[in-house]
C-alpha cells in the first residue's frame, strides 16, 4: 500500500527534493507465484525527472503535483515480475510503464529493477537521452 505523501506548500525546494528522494528508497516486492524477490532502485536521473514533474505541476497545484507523482510511484511499485510491462520501441533494452502521458523506463538486472528515466511522451522521442 502506498501512502499519499504530505507536502507543505511552505517547504523549500530542498525539502521537497528530500521528500521525493525518501519516497524513492528501494522497495522490495515478492511475487508469491514465483517466489522471487525484486528490489526496485531509482537512478539519480529518474529521481531528477520525478522532481521536475513535481515542480512543474506544483506551480499550479501542489495537490495535483502530489497526485501525479504518487501515480508514477504506485505504478513502479506494481512491478511483480521483471518482464511484466512492454519492451520500449525506441530503446529495446528497456521496458516501459505508461502513466498518464509519462513513460517510465526501467531495466532489469538479476533481482534488481532500475527505474532509469521518466519521459513526457508528448515530446520528440529522439530528445530522450539514456
CA 21 – CA 69 distance, rounded (Å): 12
Strand, helix or coil at 24? Answer: coil
Kindly give the confidence (pLDDT) of every residue in the chain, 130 residues in length, as a single tens digit, with 9 standing for 90 and above: 333 333 344 343 434 444 454 454 444 454 444 456 788 899 999 999 999 999 989 999 999 999 999 999 988 888 887 778 888 888 889 998 999 989 999 998 888 889 999 988 887 666 667 6
Every domain of the chain and the residues it spans: 13-124
pTM for the model: 0.71
Domain over 13-124 is classified CATH 3.30.2310.20 = yes
Give the count of alpha carbons within 13 A of 78, CB side only: 13
At residue 36, the pLDDT reads 63
Amino acid at each position: 500500500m502506498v501512502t499519499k505523501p504530505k507536502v507543505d506548500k511552505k517547504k523549500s525546494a530542498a525539502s521537497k527534493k528530500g521528500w521525493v528522494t525518501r519516497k524513492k528508497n528501494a522497495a522490495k516486492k515478492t511475487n508469491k507465484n514465483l517466489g522471487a524477490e525484486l528490489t526496485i532502485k531509482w537512478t539519480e536521473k529518474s529521481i531528477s525527472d520525478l522532481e521536475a514533474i513535481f515542480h512543474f505541476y506544483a506551480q499550479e497545484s501542489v495537490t495535483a503535483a502530489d497526485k501525479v507523482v504518487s501515480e508514477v510511484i504506485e505504478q513502479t511499485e506494481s512491478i511483480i515480475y521483471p518482464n511484466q510491462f512492454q519492451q520500449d520501441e525506441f530503446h529495446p533494452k528497456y521496458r516501459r510503464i505508461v502513466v498518464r502521458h509519462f513513460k517510465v523506463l526501467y531495466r532489469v538486472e538479476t533481482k534488481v529493477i532500475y527505474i532509469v528515466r521518466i519521459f513526457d511522451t508528448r515530446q520528440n522521442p529522439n530528445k530522450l537521452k539514456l
